[in-house]
Amino acid sequence: TAPQDVRAGRARELDRAHIFHSWSAQAGLDPMTVVTGRGCEVVDEDGRTYLDFSSQLVNLNIGHGHPRVVAAIQEQAGLLATVAPGYANLARGEAAERILSHAPDGFTKVFFTNGGADANENAIRMARLHTGRDKVISFYRSYHGNTGAAIVATGDWRRVPNEYARGHVHVFGPFLYRSEFWASTEAEECERALHHLERVVQAEGPSSVAAILLETVVGTGGVLVPPPGYLPGVREIADRYGIVLILDEVMAGFGRTGSWFALDQHDVVPHLITFAKGVNSGYVPAGGVILSAEISATFDDRVFPGGLTYSGHPLAMASIVAALDAMAEEGVVENAARIGEDVLGPGLRTLAARHPLVGEVRGTGVFWALDLVLDRSTREPVPAAEVVAMRAALAARGLLAFVADNRIHVVPPCVVTDQEVARALAIYDEVLTDAEERLLG
Ligand code: PLP
């Protein structure tokens, strides 16, 4: 007998009957069915092919179905499919070694988790235990995951119905296009955002602040690349007050920005780095915390009060080793950088020049956002419901898009080709034209 009943419509039928979906009211959902994928494309149950310019949830850096990663998972499954975290295991050690080889000097250990939220959860716990302090300062435009402290550290609407954890404070980071600081230049925005952060640290009482947590490049909150000097300035503030700096590289890490870590482009070294998504492109759930020697030493003779049954799961570890080796050997990170610089960045700017709906194009590598506005002078955001309608129009033309608020995030796999970018740009162009007819008249 076939392992699966593949009748047309069956996947959707079962989904509607039995699957409880994330971040949604359940009535009225009608998700598309995805059957398989290769590289930057996925195929639905009718055999229709789509360009995946969402990289699913911005995690598919190496593309769908990479044969080497698939083979590594299959091989590891035959050897040992699971092992408790207390044992030594070669795949786990090699995964940590590969990850550390891309981290700045001074990082020595990796604590593996099941994904990004628990990576941040444990990084916050480490910072609290290391400092003996409680408060975490994070940013209004941020997402850090859906667990206790991680969701309360999050800046967007998802925090508010989940606000059970204490000891969290939020600040505004730099974002010149929608400046909270009345700034007109990047330098002004940077200086004022740093001043605001330091004043909040002082007002909260520096001796109560354990950590400053931020995304190196803000992802879901709008693809906000920090201005030069901002992140080194945050590190200086952290040092001045004995605070642990945690950089969340869950979305930005492992090639998305065109470098192995986004922090490589920002002259900053944090105390802790959190990762997930791109480390193995999500082929098996995995994430973790990369510890500097300083934080790691805190737990040399003191128990670290945290752990997970699947910490360092062998299938995840084998997929990390294979994904990182394939990315290095195939120049995947270099491809992301080149595409951003020579193809996607210029292509999106050309679109913006033709389309008044595009207020700003920003990004780097394969990490871009189109900030959509009804009026370029007031920068009034296009309503989110209109952007959701644009996502449906993009899908109808064969492109899977990632949208958030008034933005389309252009986030293909790091392996995307020039031809695929050209196809995508033509689809965005058509959908923007239609939306402009509807919204701008
Ligand atoms: N941090 C960032 C920056 C993210 O973008 C995400 C997920 O989108 C997370 C953390 C949470 O990761 P996960 O969904 O694997 O728990």
Tell me the pLDDT tens digit for each residue of 187-232: 999 999 999 999 999 999 999 999 999 999 999 999 999 999 999 9
Atom of ligand 1 nearest to the CA of 277: 15
pLDDT-based confidence at residue 8 (cuts at 50, 70, 90): confident
Q: Are 299 and 264 in contact (CB under 8 A)?
A: no
Domain with residue 236: its CATH number is 3.40.640.10
Tell me the pLDDT tens digit for each residue of 374-396: 999 999 999 999 999 999 999 99
Q: Considering the domain boundaries, does residue 2 fall inside one?
A: no
The reported pLDDT for the residue numbered 2 is 52
How far away, in angstroms, is 3 Cα from ligand 1 center?
A: 32
How far away, in angstroms, is 125 Cα from ligand 1 center?
A: 17
The answer to pTM > 0.90 is yes
Whether ligand 1 lies within 6 angstroms of the CB of 215 is answered as yes
Substitution candidate for ligand 1 out of 251, 263, 310, 402 with most atoms within 8 A of CB:
251
**Alpha-carbon separation of residue 128 from 133, 155, 304 (angstroms):** 5, 20, 12
Q: Considering the domain boundaries, does residue 4 fall inside one?
A: no
How far away, in angstroms, is 94 Cα from ligand 1 center?
A: 24
Look at residues 82, 95, 126 and name the one whose alpha carbon lies nearest to residue 289: 126
Per DSSP, 253 falls in state T
Q: Are 369 and 222 in contact (CB under 8 A)?
A: yes
Phi, psi dihedral angles at 383 (to 5 degrees) = -55, 140
Lowest mean pLDDT among 122-126, 163-167, 310-314: 163-167
Whether ligand 1 lies within 6 angstroms of the CB of 121 is answered as no
Atom of ligand 1 nearest to the CA of 115: 15
Contacts for 55 with CB less than 8 Å, ≥ 6 apart = 61, 366, 402, 411, 412, 413
Domain with residue 372: its CATH number is 3.90.1150.10
How far away, in angstroms, is 119 Cα from ligand 1 center?
A: 9
Q: Are 61 and 416 in contact (CB under 8 A)?
A: no
Tell me the pLDDT tens digit for each residue of 95-150: 999 999 999 999 999 999 999 999 999 999 999 999 999 999 999 999 999 999 99
**Looking at residues 297-320, what average pLDDT do you find?**
97
How far away, in angstroms, is 420 Cα from ligand 1 center?
A: 26
Instruction: Classify 306 as helix, strand or coil.
Output: coil
Dist. CA 433–CA 375, nearest whole Å: 15
Do 269 and 185 sit in the same domain of this protein?
Answer: yes
Instruction: Work out whether strand 244-248 and strand 272-275 pair parallel, antiparallel, or are unpaired.
Output: parallel
Cα 324 to chain centroid, rounded: 17
Q: Write down which residue in 289, 312, 329 finishes a domain.
A: 329
Burial of 239 (0-12, 13-18, 19+ CB in 10 A): exposed
How far away, in angstroms, is 188 Cα from ligand 1 center?
A: 30
Q: Write down which residue in 277, 310, 329 finishes a domain.
A: 329
Whether ligand 1 lies within 6 angstroms of the CB of 214 is answered as no
Q: Considering the domain boundaries, does residue 163 fall inside one?
A: yes
Number of Cα atoms under 13 Å in the Cβ half of residue 121:
19
Q: Considering the domain boundaries, does residue 205 fall inside one?
A: yes
Do 216 and 95 sit in the same domain of this protein?
Answer: yes
Do 84 and 57 sit in the same domain of this protein?
Answer: no
Q: Considering the domain boundaries, does residue 401 fall inside one?
A: yes
Amino acid at 349: R
Q: Write down which residue in 283, 307, 329 finishes a domain.
A: 329
Q: Considering the domain boundaries, does residue 5 fall inside one?
A: no
Do 131 and 271 sit in the same domain of this protein?
Answer: yes
Q: Which tokens is 189 given? A: 């925005």
Atom of ligand 1 nearest to the CA of 276: 15
Tell me if ipTM is over 0.95: yes
Whether the predicted pLDDT of 278 surpasses 60: yes
Q: Considering the domain boundaries, does residue 1 fall inside one?
A: no
Do 208 and 243 sit in the same domain of this protein?
Answer: yes
Whether the predicted pLDDT of 1 surpasses 70: no
Whether ligand 1 lies within 6 angstroms of the CB of 139 is answered as no
Kindly state the percentage of the chain with pLDDT values over 70: 99
How far away, in angstroms, is 220 Cα from ligand 1 center?
A: 9
Q: Are 240 and 263 in contact (CB under 8 A)?
A: no
Do 204 and 178 sit in the same domain of this protein?
Answer: yes
Whether ligand 1 lies within 6 angstroms of the CB of 144 is answered as yes
Q: Left, alpha or beta for 5 (phi > 0: left; psi -120 to 50: alpha)? A: beta
Whether ligand 1 lies within 6 angstroms of the CB of 249 is answered as no
Q: Considering the domain boundaries, does residue 354 fall inside one?
A: yes
Do 318 and 338 sit in the same domain of this protein?
Answer: no
pLDDT-based confidence at residue 4 (cuts at 50, 70, 90): low
Do 356 and 208 sit in the same domain of this protein?
Answer: no
Do 325 and 335 sit in the same domain of this protein?
Answer: no
Q: Which tokens is 343 given? A: 């193809």
Instruction: Work out whether strand 135-139 and strand 287-292 pair parallel, antiparallel, or are unpaired.
Output: unpaired
Task: Determine which residue's CA is closest to atom 5 belonging to ligand 1.
Answer: 251
Q: What kind and span of H or E run contains 188?
A: helix 186-204
Whether ligand 1 lies within 6 angstroms of the CB of 288 is answered as no
Cα 291 to chain centroid, rounded: 19
Do 219 and 268 sit in the same domain of this protein?
Answer: yes
Whether ligand 1 lies within 6 angstroms of the CB of 368 is answered as no
Whether the predicted pLDDT of 239 surpasses 80: yes
Do 313 and 239 sit in the same domain of this protein?
Answer: yes
**Looking at residues 337-345, what average pLDDT do you find?**
98
Dist. CA 359–CA 373, nearest whole Å: 5
Which range marks the domain in which residue 387 is found? 10-65+331-440
Atom of ligand 1 nearest to the CA of 117: 16
Whether ligand 1 lies within 6 angstroms of the CB of 278 is answered as no
Name the E strands within 232-334. Answer: 244-248, 272-275, 287-292
Do 131 and 25 sit in the same domain of this protein?
Answer: no
Whether ligand 1 lies within 6 angstroms of the CB of 250 is answered as yes
Q: How many domains does the chain have?
A: 2
Q: What is the largest CA-CA distance in the chain?
A: 68
